[in-house]
Amino acid sequence: MRVVLTGGGTGGHIYPALAVAKEISRQQPQAAFLYIGSKKGLEAQLVPRTDIPFQSVEIAGLKRKLTFDNVKTLWKFIQAVSLSKRMLREFRPDVVIGTGGYVCGPVVYAAARLGIPTVIHEQNVVPGLTNKFLARYVDRVAVSFEESLSFFPAGKTVLTGNPRATEVMHGDPRAGRAFLGVGEDKRVVLIFGGSRGARAINEATLAIVPRMQEFPRTHFVYVTGDVHYDSISAALKEKGEQPRNLSVYPFVHNMPDLLAAAHLMVGRAGASSLAELTALGVPSILVPSPYVTNNHQEKNARGLEKQGASIVILENELSGERLLESLSAILGSEERWAAMQKSSRQLGMPDAATKIYQVLGELKR
């Protein structure tokens, strides 16, 4: 099987594509891949770290109001479609898989125009503009949430879950605890604001550091994000001696192992993160980012909250006191934690990547 992957801008679009590639390689070790992304997107950094060849097109997103910039964007789109067709003819894929982001648009559209089987995957409850546009041209649409089904044509849409859920199932809790130097007798609380960190989560966490010792059975793992690490480290020094039950990192590359060891997670509500949490049945305190299109993180988070798998705190309501109150409510009640764990696991779709692979098998050129 020859596969073109496309999607970019954020890790939420890129990691699902890479997870699908891993599942295809597991099923078909001789499969060949090409990733088409943007030079300016995060994919230009992440994909070259894998063994998947990377090529790029130039594209930008449409503004939500009439501006001259949209004229330039449409011209870039036409050029990107033309370049994508050339790349696709050279690579001759059996299928093209798009996982969202602006760059996905011209690549998947070009594939559809060339008669190459196409699949798009939507991670969020409310789909983005690119996937809404592509839905009319592609052969299949895979969605992560049942609530998303109504946004796409019924005859070509299937509920698969997010393929990141499958990948995280390979995490090793013993390796996670060994990395932290924490024994089985400690509960692990992972605080993570995403690869770039989240200022609001960082500020609330800093505020509760002096009180972390009130949870002697708990070890806190605080991942600040590379951008914030130096300032957070300086702020922690000003507070005096760091609690023994706190580990601080700028970034971690073994997140599946840490998630597998986690008792509770505090973080954003990106679709990939929620797929990982529910696959493992990890309860959560979610602080949705208010800086995303269509406020999709809050909509993602409310679904978990409704089912009892999470406590949601909006960023403008977040404080150290509010965070401490939520931590105490979960860590102070084994019954509450167990109920949240059960609800989280019931929402999980750990075989998502396998389901997407099955969708690919249904397409014949």
**DSSP strands (E only) in 207-273:** 218-223, 246-249, 264-267
For residue 3, give the 3-state DSSP assignment.
strand
Q: Distance of alpha carbon 311 from its chain centroid, rounded?
A: 19
What stretch of H or E contains 278? helix 271-280
Q: Cα separation of 253 and 256, whole Å?
A: 8
Q: Is 11 annotated as a binding residue?
A: yes
Q: Cα separation of 322 and 311, whole Å?
A: 11
What contacts 333, CB < 8 A, 6 or more positions away? none
Neighbours of 170 (CB within 10 A): 10
- Amino acid 145 reads F
Instruction: Please tell me what DSSP assigns to residue 35.
Output: E
Start-to-end Cα distance in the chain: 12
Q: Is 56 annotated as a binding residue?
A: no
Q: Is 50 annotated as a binding residue?
A: no
Q: Distance of alpha carbon 69 from its chain centroid, rounded?
A: 29
Q: Is 297 annotated as a binding residue?
A: yes
- Amino acid 13 reads H
Confirm if 50 and 136 have CB atoms less than 8 A apart.
Answer: no
Q: Cα separation of 327 and 184, whole Å?
A: 20
Confirm if 44 and 37 have CB atoms less than 8 A apart.
Answer: yes
Q: Is 12 annotated as a binding residue?
A: yes
Cα atoms in the 13 Å half-sphere on the side-chain side of 326: 24
Confirm if 296 and 125 have CB atoms less than 8 A apart.
Answer: yes
Q: Is 193 annotated as a binding residue?
A: no
Q: Residues within the annotated binding site for UDP-N-acetyl-alpha-D-glucosamine?
A: 10-12, 124, 195, 297
